[in-house]
Structure 1
Amino acid sequence: MNSLNVEMFVVVSWLSYKRMPFIKRRRVSFGVKLFSALLAFGVSTFLTMQTSANTSELQVANLGTCSLESGGQINNCVVTYRVFGERNADASNIVLMPTWVNGSSQALADSNYLGPGGIVDTNKYQVIAIDALGNGSSSSPSNYDQDVFPAISIRDMVTSQYRLVTEHMGLERVHAVVGASMGAYQTYEWLIMYPDFADRFIPIEGTPWTTFYGYLRDQILLATLKLDLEDPKQFEAAKSIVGALKGLVYWTPDYLNREMGDGDFEAAYSALEGSPSLSDLRNALSHREAIATHDIRRDRPDFLNTVKALSGSKVLAVVYEEDMAVNPEPNWDFSSILGFEVIEFPGDCGHFGPNPECYQDQLIPIVDDFLALDFPIMERHALTVNGVEREYFLHTPETRESAPLPLLIALHGWGSTATGFSRIYGLNNHADKNGYAIAYLQGSNFYAPLAWADGLHFVSSWNDEASNLTPTAAGPHCTVDRLPYPCPPDCGSCNHCGWTSCGDDLTFVDDVIKELSQRANIDKERIYLLGNSNGATMAQRYACENSARVAGVVLLISQMPPGHTCGPSKALPMFHYYGGLDDNVGHDGEATSDGWIFSSAADNTRVWAEHVGCQNPPQLWQSDLSDKFGWECSVYRDCGSEKVEVVSCKDPDQHHELGEQRIPWIPANCVTESQAGSLPGQPLCPDNASVRPQSAMDVFWGFISQY
């Protein structure tokens, strides 16, 4: 190694080294695992490519002149591409996939980024894989026959791709743009430049703008690739530095050291160097110059206003915790502005996390879910209860089965809307996957000033026939100096501790169950209740009064006020979840900081257990997911003749929220289109869903659906 190599190697080593915990994976020989990764990304340009059975003919589009950001132009501008999969009748399944740095459209297929069962499944979607300008297939330094190939940017790549699909292919829009690495850079630019051209944008291990760490890496690469490559010595030096740098930033130190062990270092290093040609390195320089200037904010003084006009629901970013080639942090920063989900994978594969030899099998269902995500309009239904019109919204999963569906009655918390509740926990998505219907009921509501906020605010609540009652011998419901809540108009007047509706909500819930049992394809023996906060006390009250109508109950983050705990008249299973740090509804029976008092979680569960005939003291309850979340759970077993269970779980680090389920960027008081007409003063819910597994609901549904 010459002196230039040594100096650069030391600098890069210092910049790159980062000790992190890692997930140990099955040991695979360096020669198999690392080389398969090398063949996948930009390193593949310098190696002999392996091809897969998933191939498609390379097609060529001549766009004439491509005007560039710099003011220059590419004459006889060519963009090449491949098409995989079949287009459906209405052309609604088209996905664009731009290539990564120095990668090719065929390499995307070879690494299963597209294909049958791939990250983008070509059994479902038609994928147009587009070779980015500068990659050696589309117009590039290596194939440009007119003077010097001009400098290009990520935006220039996207502009040429837009011209390809609109001018050459005649498309007016596509379903999605999905890209990995530099392909993700292009995906972010697609979002800013042509936001209405696609329904979904999925940048994988990319960034909306470069960081200082990335800048330093790029400066090393640019300085290296700008050597006099016609000189054989400098060419060899450049090849060595580029190869070493790829090894240092594409994988983590732990990964390389573990996989390499005491193997043949020289052979491994030689593999990283590969056998690039002079043209390969010149193409690499073109892409590295484009990456070095990448920033979706650059030269856009109205950037924030532009972003405000976009919909975060269109975007899902995927990052890898220990990616040293592309710093994932800007994805979170941009997400905080636009409001979209960022999925982060742990593990020490680094920048090769999406590859088959690493975590591709975990990524595939996430991308597949997001591409398939849809928001069917929930059916609005209205009932008249004691002369008052009440509304609920029904979501029924698309299913080919004719068997009656289980039904979940969902009751929102104080200040929420029915359709907002459907969105904040992603419940429809879970229902679709598990084959049950959900009816979201709307509590009584009005607008009023709040003691802790200016102006008029939406207030909604349920009459659990306890919170507004005079305190019993068990103690008061609130302190003298409690934080006051507005008195609902349907109460006329409220006592000092009154704060919930006085409407006939027991009849409302009962009428909804009766109507759906008669008119919908509902399994009358499998009707369940799910209540959140004030909705939980309402669910508990209904189950206590009408236990024959339901098969199980889930109570989230609430208990009855002192002296009003209750249980059903039959052996009914119940699951209670609460936060150990909840200061809205305390779990210990003591007054909260704002002066409100509730029964303890232990007493609320114990009274229920006594009513259903539990004879034994509570025992430890565990499941794989509850252990994963760190919940502390207990169970009363073998209760009543039906041998049901009563479970209570504390999430020690959670406040007044279901953390494993809540989608934080969606307000609970928003409305979907189905409810916008009846509550016109409420904001529309953003279409941001979460493709994270509905983990907490898996626990709850797994428990109650067995009954």
Structure 2
Amino acid sequence: MQTDYQIFEAGDVVLQSGITLPDCRIAYKTYGRLNSAKDNAILYPTWFSGRHTDNEWLIGPQMALNPEQYFIIVPNMLGNGLSSSPSNTPPPFNGAYFPQVTLYDNVRLQHRLLTGHLGVRHIQLAVGWSMAAAQVYQWGALYPDMVARIAPFCGTPRTSPHTFVFLEGLAAALKGGITPEQGLRAMARVLAGWAFTQNFYREELFRTALGFASLEDFLRGFWEASFLSWDPQDILSMIKTGQYGADISANEVFQHDHVRALNAIRARALVMPSSTDMYFPVEDHRLAVEHMPNATLVPVPSIWGHFAGGRGIHPPDTAFIDDHLKVLLASQS
């Protein structure tokens, strides 16, 4: 089967859980070319339920992430069905037996991909949405000498208790279906109530901006359609990563000292929450920025909630993010 991505064969990898994941693979796609100095790289990881193609809305010749100028690397998260996941790992770690993975596990593998496999020496920018934003924070904390700038948007450096509970609701809906399809449909409908705001629904933007004929049409045609092709165990794996493995200080480097991990981020940081995000409210980002030595907080003014930063479906929000990324990339690191 032809694919539009490449595979980094990482071999047997000892995860933070202490379990060795055999024949670990990271699927990735690159855009543009690495220059002779090997310092024009931009790292743009995937997010919960995202794959590399879902990141392409922010990549283009007229955009900040310009493949004619930069070498853009999009690694797929463990668990997303392309990189090592419950659905593609053979026994004894297949399906529900796939080991717990963390964003720290992901970032360490991404570092190996970039430095050992692709030859990248310096990262001009690490950028990402939602669960990818947590990976971006982790990159800044772990590799401060390598990363010049970071731009996490609509995502925090650790999972709050509130977000943990939200993710628990997703897992319960997914596991509560009589069939896997019913579980996926139920989970999608839970997400629908969180990802967009009350004002989005009150103004019926699902109809006027996205073109759906009715609310039910939107729930099925946008939300359920986004998840019905997924393996439920892959989704559950990423949920567990978000619940138990998304804290940039939960590793041997920072020993759960969250403030020390944030202090370690020396990169010029542009932190862009959505002003109406119900997953990751602005206050959570403000608390993080207080402990980052070179960070600026710039909320995205939007009523699109978490999806102010998602998939490029609202052009004004896309333009806001892209314009600020252009300014960030033009700044001195």
| TM-score for the superposition, normalised by structure 2 | 0.86
Unaligned runs of 5+ in 2: none
Specify which of 255, 258, 275 is matched with residue 321 of structure 1.
275
Cross-structure match for 1:206? 155
CA contact (8 A) 1:225 1:282 kept: no
Is the CA contact 2:64–2:329 (under 8 Å) kept in the aligned structure 1? no
Q: Deviations over 1:172-219 (max 9, x none)?
A: 332221111111111011112222221111111110122232122011
SS at match of 2:22: strand
**Offset at residue 226 of structure 1 (A):** 3.5
Contact 1:317 1:341 in 2 (8 A): yes
Q: Which residue in 2 is equivalent to 1:298?
A: 250
Give the equivalent residue in structure 1 for 2:301.
Answer: 346
Equivalent of residue 130 in structure 1, options 63, 66, 75: 75
Using a 3 Å threshold, how does the CA distance of structure 1 residues 309 and 181 change in structure 2: closer, same or farther?
closer
1:338 partner SS: coil
Query: Which of 60, 64, 78 is equivalent to 1:115?
Result: 60
Please name the residue that 2:101 is paired with.
152
Letter in 2 for 1:297: S
User: Larger helix proportion, structure 1 or 2?
Assistant: 2
- Per the alignment, residue 236 of structure 2 pairs with 285
Residue 353 of structure 1 deviates from its aligned partner by 1.1
Structure 1 CA distance for aligned equivalents of residues 121 and 291 of structure 2: 28
Q: Is the Cα contact below 8 Å between 1:325 and 1:351 reproduced in 2? A: yes
User: Pick from 111, 116, 126: which aligns with 1:177?
Assistant: 126
What is the distance in 2 between the residues matched to 1:287 and 1:191? 22
Deviation at 1:224, TM superposition (A): 2.6
Aligned-partner SS, 2:63 = coil
Matched, 1:269 2:234: no
Indicate the structure (1 or 2) with the bigger Cα radius of gyration. 1
Q: Classify the secondary structure of the residue corresponding to 2:273.
A: strand
Do 2:78 and 2:85's aligned partners in 1 also have CA atoms closer than 8 Å? yes
Q: Aligned residue for 2:184?
A: 239
What is aligned with 1:331? 285
**Matched position secondary structure for 1:353:** helix
Aligned partner of residue 98 in structure 2, secondary structure: coil
Q: How does 1:159-558 map to 2 (within 5 A)?
A: 159-227=108-176, 233-258=178-203, 259-260=205-206, 263-271=213-221, 272-274=223-225, 276-277=227-228, 279-293=230-244, 294-298=246-250, 300-311=255-266, 313-339=267-293, 340-354=295-309, 355-358=312-315, 359-374=317-332
**Residues 141 and 279 of structure 1 are in contact (CA less than 8 Å); yes or no, is this contact kept in structure 2?**
no
Distance 1:334 1:219 in 2: 24
Greater strand percent: which structure? 1
CA displacement at 1:344 relative to structure 2: 0.6
| CA positional deviation for 1:165 | 1.2
Q: 2: CA distance between counterparts of 1:349 and 1:167?
A: 39
Q: Deviations over 1:280-307 (max 9, x none)?
A: 2211111110011222233524444454
Specify whether residues 350 and 308 from structure 1 end up closer, same or farther in structure 2 by C-alpha distance, changes over 3 A only.
closer
Distance of aligned partners of 1:304 and 1:323 in 2 relative to their CA distance in 1, 3 Å threshold: closer
Q: Report the TM-score, using the length of structure 1 for normalisation.
A: 0.42
- Residue-pair matches, total: 313
- Which SS does the other structure have where 2:272 is aligned? strand
User: What is the CA-CA distance between 1:361 and the residue it aligns to?
Assistant: 1.0
Pair 1:105 & 2:52 matched: yes
- Partner SS for 2:151: strand
Distance 1:260 1:345, change over 3 A: closer
Pairwise CA distance, 1:263: 4.4
C-alpha distance in 1 between matches for 2:140 and 2:6: 25
1:507-656 alignment, distance < 5 Å: none
Q: Post-superposition shift, 1:160?
A: 1.2
Q: Cα offset for 1:241?
A: 2.0
1:293-323 Cα deviation digits (max 9, x unpaired): 2222335244444544542x52111111101
Residues 214, 327 of structure 1: 8 Å contact kept: no
Counterparts of 2:194 and 2:49, CA distance in 1: 16
Go from structure 1 to structure 2 and tell me whether the alpha carbon gap of 1:173 and 1:213 turns closer, same or farther (over 3 Å shift). Answer: same
Partner Cα distance (1:360, 1:275) in 2 = 20
1:69 matched residue in structure 2 = 16
Point out where structure 1 has 5 or more consecutive residues left out of the alignment: 1-55, 375-686, 688-707
Show CA shifts across 1:424-443 (max 9, x none). xxxxxxxxxxxxxxxxxxxx
- In the TM superposition, what is the alpha-carbon distance from 1:235 to its structure 2 partner? 2.5
1:265 Cα deviation from its structure 2 partner? 3.1
Listed one character per residue, the Cα deviations across residues 14-65 of structure 1 (whole Å, up to 9, x for unaligned) are: xxxxxxxxxxxxxxxxxxxxxxxxxxxxxxxxxxxxxxxxxx9411111101
Q: Which has the higher contact order (CA 8 A, sep 6+)?
A: 2
Amino acid at match of 2:198: P
Report the secondary structure of 1:210's partner residue: coil
Q: Which amino acid aligns with 1:114?
A: I
